[in-house]
Amino acid sequence: MMTALALGLFVGVVLGLVGGGGSIIAVPALVYGVGMSPAQAIPTSLLVVGASSLAALIPRLREGINWPVVLLIGAAGIPAAWGGTAIGRLLDPNILMLAFAALMVIAGIRMLTRTRETDGSCSTGPNRAFRTCAPKAVGVGLLVGFLTGLLGVGGGFLITPALTLFLGLRMKQAVGSSLTIIVINSVAGFSAHAAGFTIAWPTVLAFAIPAILGSLVAARLARRLKENHVRISFAVLIFAVAALVTASTVTA
């Protein structure tokens, strides 16, 4: 129980600081720290990360949310999450964990890449063009939704760069929009996993409550920290966790 409390707090802090990435840490934490199977950890992660993202979103509401983009990505992500869940049930748990490790490496590399801010077709600026924006937003939603269902990730580490680089949103608006999409995807993914899943409420609450509190505090502190330092620290962390997941899976 103490391990669940500590790991939950850590996941919430990561989510609040980075605006995503909490689920990349949550599933390995639940599997290797708390002792859940991947089948238990994935829906539990979605439940916890969805609630923590909602909490982290509250301090960022004043920075604005691009609702048309959020609704497009969220709507596309719901059926994709169900499809990802169906495929995940057919795969060996070790394959899922190795896929998770590969995804973590991609996320780490992405965090080390500086995000360039330019107003694009999905922005609220003068370059906005909804007809051009809509197909791209749907494509992002399908990809992120599928990964949410397959691996239990909210997709924040993919959504934020997709919103800025691919769809042209400014970073401040992208983070709030990303958290909103994570909430939608987490609900969709959890609903797909809910059949036959019994929630271990003591463990979930021990993980979720500190995660929610940590995300609230960290989201407020994030404005005082240098973005560069946060990105590099997070990248190093997930490279280390990816190595641990790979080693544990291969030697199991």
Residue given tokens 């995807």 in the structure block: 185
Compute CA distances 229 → 52, 62, 89, whole Å: 23, 24, 38
Could you report the per-residue pLDDT of 178-236, keeping only the tens digit for each?
Answer: 888 888 888 888 887 777 677 788 888 888 898 888 878 877 776 677 767 767 777 78
pTM of the model: 0.74
CA 105, 57, 65: angle at the middle one, nearest 5?
A: 95
Could you report the per-residue pLDDT of 55-86, keeping only the tens digit for each?
Answer: 778 877 776 788 889 999 989 988 998 898 88
